[in-house]
Structure 1
């Protein structure tokens, strides 16, 4: 069974869906939920579901991103993690860290990649006059939101939609897509030698 770590920064709604799916027969098990914010609401949800939690507050490292990532790497190794799921983890990870975990780290992004990498995806889709928005699960590579897309879900943009309306409907699809993609990814996963 493959050990999965889920990294969060907030309420953890995608994390919760992943944990619920892994509570059934699954190729992976949730070994750790880690947040860079001690106040993240998802930590209590994970604890209530019986999953180990850790906090690594990025603010205590000041501008030393490399030291934060070194400590993060140590924690992940201590828990014998095979695969990382970023689920609302609001830190851009550096190239050295990503390279060390490449092929073993997934992210959910609220757009139909390669469109709208980065932030404010829903507002940007509305401003562009798009008819479709959605979400994508992709492998993490050193370039932001540029890794291979493993799956996506489309959401129509309706007349009068606000960015929040669209975000709410996309989130429903994220909750369905991420567990499905993680399950498929782990089913064919081969650990690096």
Structure 2
């Protein structure tokens, strides 16, 4: 009787240990999946850094990875748009700085709109197959590419020494970060599309 109680106790402990390890193993598997997927992007370190916190929801799903990458890009674009809008209110702006900021706000607004459409398109495409799937993915790829162009156009608006300074540096750093995250998202969308 005592030996069966010991065996039952040992089996119970083994089950508890296995249950305690499985979330860690799943998280490790998801993290490895993110690292492997990000290695094919243009900015792999940034990709891993921006998506690692979402490993539990991504698991090993290429679709969820692409969806999360787009959502991260959208949130950063919104934050950057708000930041650039605040810069327009600085006193003492030169006319060219003001115009560059104004144009950048417009470009970031377009980027936010296109990334929003992309997130929604991917989210609501359901289990589309064949030509229907290709149509939805093509929409997403087109919008994300256009968003990336918008972000790069914003940065280009600050070209030239006349605009050098803190405003150019701070806006440039944020917009370049958004562009890099968007580039990574586009790469992950392309990976997802290629696996279907």
For this structure pair, what is the TM-score category when the shorter chain's length is used for normalisation? under 0.3
Which one has the bigger strand percentage? 1
TM-score (norm 1): 0.24
Which entry has the higher C-alpha Rg, 1 or 2? 2
- Tell me which of the two structures has the higher relative contact order, counting C-alpha pairs closer than 8 angstroms and 6 or more residues apart: 2
Which one has the bigger helix percentage? 2
TM-score (norm 2): 0.24
